[in-house]
Structures are given as C-alpha cells and as structure tokens.
Amino acid sequence: MKKKSVVIILSILVIILGLVIAYLFIFDSSKNNVKENKEPDKVDNNNEVKEEEETEEEKLEKMVNSKLESMTLDEKIGQMLVISNRVSAMTDSLRKELEEYKPGGFILFSENFTTYDQTLKLVNEIKETSDIPLFIAADEEGGNVQRLLSLKDKVTNIPNMFRVGEANDKDLAYEVGKVIAEELRVFGINMDFAPVLDIVDSKNQSFIGNRSFGTNPTLVTDMGLSVGKGLEDNLVIPVYKHFPGHGSTVADSHYDLPVINKTKSELMDRELIPFKEAIKNNADVIMIGHLAIPKLTNDKTPASLSKTLITDLLKDELNYNGLVITDALNMGAITKNYQEKEIYEMAINAGVDLLLMPNSSSSALKNIKESIAIGKISEEQINDSVKKILTLKYKKLENSNPLPKSYLGSTEHQEIISKIK
C-alpha cells in the first residue's frame, strides 16, 4: 500500500512538472511572438519617418519640375529678369509689363518708398501679378545705401558697415541684420542686395568706401556673414556682393570699368576669403561685380560676363551651387563696351542665373529668344537657371509674409543700433 502511494505521488509530481514546463514554453513563445511583432512595427515606423523626410525633398523637386515643364520659353526667360520701375504707385504700363513678361523679381528704389500704406499697396500689387513668388529686392546696406530712409514714416537709420566693422562684434552684427530684415519685411521685401563682402584698402581710397566692413579679410568675413545670418534667419535672402571683390578699385563701375591687376593667388589670399566662407555657409545668392581681372581672363572682360570667373572659378573651383546675379546691367562699365544682345549672351553663357535691371523686359526677351534660336544660348542653360530660381523661391519665399508696421523704427531696433558707436 505504501509503495502504491509513493507511485501515485510521483505520478502527480511528474504531471505537475509537465504542466509547468508546458506553461513556461507557451509563455516564452508568446513573448517571442510579441517581440517579433513589435520589432517589425519599429522598423516600419522608422521607414515611415525616413519616407516622410525624403518626401519633403521629393515634394519640392516635383513641384519645381512640374512648374518648369508647364512653362513656356517666354515665361522661363522672364524668371531670369529682375526689373525696376521708379514709380510711387502701380501704373497701367507697369502692370502690363509684369503680367505680359512675368519677371522673376522686382527691385525697389528710393522713389518707390513713400508712405507705409502706399508702399505696401504697391508691393502687394506687384506680387499679385504673378502666380510664382517674386523676389522683391532692395539695396538696404546701411549708411548712404538705404532705400527705406525715403519713407515719410519713422524708420531705423542703419549706420554704415565700416562702423559695424569697427565695433567688431559678431552678435551685434547679427542683430543689425535682424533689424534690417524686420523693417524690410514690413513691406514684404524678401531679398536684400547686401551685405557687401568687399575688402577695402582704405575707406577713403575706394569706390566702395565705408560700405565695406573694413580692411581686414577676417573682420569682413565675420561681420559680413553675421549680418547675412541675421537677414536669413529673419526670412530675407542675403545677396553677398560684389564677387570677386570690388574693394581695391577706384573707378566707379556705374560709369567706367574698374580693373584689378591681381593674380589668382593674390585674390585667394585676400578678396576671395569672405566669399569662400559665405559659400561654406550655404550662401543662396552671390552678386557679380562689373570689374575686370586681366591676369585671370587674359583680357578685360567684366567678371559679370566672364565664364572664367563665374563658372570656372566661382562654381567649379570654389564649389558654389547657389544663384548668380549680375550687378545692374544698365551700368556704364558694360554698356560702354558691349551691345545689349551681347551682354545677355555673355552673361548667360558665363553662368549667370538672374539678370538685374536689363534694358527693358521686352528687349531682353526678344534678344535672348533670338540668341537661343541661332544657337548662341542653349535652352538647357535657361532650364538649369530657372530650376534653381524656382527651387529657392518655393523653399524660402512661401512663408515670407509682411510684418506689422510697429516694427518700423521700433524701440528695440533703436536700442540695437545705439550700441554702434
């Protein structure tokens, strides 16, 4: 009997042990299944995030390509033009020009600034003529080059950049850029033809003078890029100028062609330093000056029309991928030496994307189309430029809405500027 009881007890223990083992096996399998089910979800989530990041870039590219494919040749050429018209209010002729030729941008001058209400109305009416965002630009450098000072309303008077350079404070320079950007944005201006990256030999012995931050390459680089960052962070596109360096010239390119007798190595060690740093910091737009450097080009071709200086040096050697804009095409440095059609052909073939202030929209369109028809300009070059223009516009201008009038001459702005002695 005792033996039988022992057998029964052992049998029960075996059954219990078997049940425990079975339970542990099932529990472990369930854990593995849950883990396996969770891990794919995690991977899927990562893939979804990755796909969303790629989709944003793809979305921009698709938008640009779709728009480009839908555009006529006339519309593409129009995008490469930045025009001006020194009126205080919209006129029938200006509206017709904007609607017919669809320029890519409009530069405002002192005559365009009157009162807050009237100037804002003019800018809004200019913008309304285009289904593609317009570059609305101004020369707002500070000192003697301030278009906003023509306003009848109170605005902040920005000191010349040589004084900003003398302060030698990167944080303060950034704040100066912020002040300029915020007051420009009151009128929906989204591009500033500043800062000046030219290095002067002396502020009194140069065409550029006190528009420059100073005589030292490091100082000019630090101050220029800080002002540019202040502009960019506050939704105004800075245009760094005047490549490859206008600082040591005496001649005024509005009337004559300045000539710089320097070698490439000399330029690399001085004039080009600020531009090289701007490129490293992803500059969106660089303006080319009307100045000759015969030791690089073997002739007196202005930089703004030179493939050697724009494509070979700026783009290929310095690895610049942003937009290239000319200085104004009505300046004597080029109009005295080249015919209108020749200027467009040379500039576009040199690698220019934006033509600032052509003779007129109609003549620019006519001449460029004729040059394309006879093979002097390739449509591929036009497409490449317009693709870059549209990409920057859709990337940077979509959320650039006007700021309230209270930003003009604000107490905060006045306090920032008062720090510049």
CA–CA dist 70, 262 (Å, integer) = 46
Cis omega (within 30 of 0) on the bond before 242? yes
Contacts (Cβ under 8 Å, ≥6 apart) of 352: 288, 304, 310, 324, 325, 326, 385
Residue closest to 342 by CA, chosen among 308, 313, 376, 312:
376
Q: Which two tokens stand for residue 185?
A: 């944005």
Characterize 219-238 residue by residue with b for buried, 16 or more Cβ atoms within 10 angstroms of its Cβ, and e for exposed: bbbbbbbbbbbbbbebbbbb
Q: Return d(Cα 157, Cα 174) in angstroms, integer.
A: 16
**Of 254, 269, 316, 384, which is the active-site residue?**
254
CA dist 250 and 72 (Å) reads 43
The residue with tokens 């015969």 is 294
Q: For residue 90, give the nearest of 115, 126, 114, 117 by alpha carbon.
A: 126
CA atoms of 234 and 310, how far apart (whole Å):
29
- Whether 105 contacts 160, CB under 8 Å: no
Tokens representing 110?
């002192």
Single-letter code of the amino acid located at 35: K
CB-count burial class (<10 Å; 0-12, 13-18, 19+) for 202? exposed
- The amino acid sitting at 306 is S
Q: Are 210 and 158 in contact (CB under 8 A)?
A: no
Residue of 139, 327, 353, 413 marked catalytic: 327
Quickly list H helices, 147-216.
Answer: 161-167, 170-185
Distance CA 339, CA 38 (A): 71
The dihedral region occupied by 245, where left means phi > 0, alpha psi between -120 and 50, and beta the remainder, is left
Active site (annotated) includes residue 327: yes
Catalytic site includes residue 198? no
Catalytic residue ranges: 254, 327
